[in-house]
């Protein structure tokens, strides 16, 4: 793949192996990034109910807030590549906004993977993390919207997410 150097910062990112989508979107600086888990967020963590039952509501919210792009933090990124996650689990019009996945860092907590992603991509704008596991984040971390694993991104949490995006 040939990289268009004019679209990237003059100084290369140290040690960064940019994915196809990081390169593609390197020229864009979205106003906000939404780091998204799947289990316990888009559907209950127990898997007993419909998978991705909250996806349509999240996508409607994203359509109303075009300045938000999504980076997947879900453990599903350990099994599926970015293209599969984007194309198999999101609607066509939302797919271009699923821009990447966080790096897998052995022994790191999820918040550390988010920070590594932000540093690697030099994103300095606002961001939120939607997850269901408080133990993966520092107590009271301002960037976390914590969902209950048994309900996920239900109507109340979706309203809270919308309010935080509007801030």
CA dist 48 and 110 (Å) reads: 25
CA dist 47 and 88 (Å) reads: 18
Give yes or no for residue 17 having a pLDDT over 80. no
**pLDDT, tens only, 106-144:** 999 999 999 999 999 999 999 999 999 999 999 999 999
Give yes or no for residue 8 having a pLDDT over 90. no
The SS3 of residue 125 is coil
Residue 46 or residue 17, greater confidence: 46
Give yes or no for residue 99 having a pLDDT over 90. yes
Domain ranges of the chain: 22-166
**pLDDT, tens only, 52-83:** 999 999 999 999 999 999 999 999 999 999 99
Burial group, residue 48, by CB count within 10 angstroms (0-12, 13-18, 19+): exposed
**40 Rama class: left (phi>0) / alpha (psi -120 to 50) / beta:** left
* Beta bridge partners of residue 72, listed in sequence order: 36, 101
Q: How confident is the model at residue 16 (pLDDT cuts 50, 70, 90)?
A: very low
The overall average pLDDT reported for the chain is: 85
CATH architecture of structural domain 22-166: 3-Layer(aba) Sandwich (3.40)
For 117, list phi and psi in degrees, rounded to 5.
-65, -45
Contact 137, 131 (CB under 8 A): yes
């Amino acid at each position: 793949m040939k990289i268009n150097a004019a679209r990237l910062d003059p100084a290369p990112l140290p040690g960064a192996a940019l994915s196809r989508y990081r390169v593609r979107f390197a020229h864009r600086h979205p106003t906000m990034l939404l780091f998204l888990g799947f289990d316990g967020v888009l559907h209950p963590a127990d898997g007993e109910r419909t998978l991705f039952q909250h996806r349509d509501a999240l996508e409607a919210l994203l359509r109303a807030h075009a300045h938000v792009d999504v980076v997947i933090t879900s453990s599903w990124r350990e099994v599926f590549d970015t293209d599969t996650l984007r194309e198999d689990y999101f609607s066509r019009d939302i797919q271009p906004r699923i821009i990447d996945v966080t790096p897998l860092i052995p022994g790191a907590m999820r918040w550390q993977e988010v920070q590594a992603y932000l540093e690697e991509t030099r994103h300095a704008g606002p961001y939120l993390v939607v997850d269901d596991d408080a133990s993966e984040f520092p107590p009271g971390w301002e960037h976390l919207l914590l969902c209950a694993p048994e309900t996920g991104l239900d109507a109340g949490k979706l309203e809270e997410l919308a309010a935080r995006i509007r801030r």
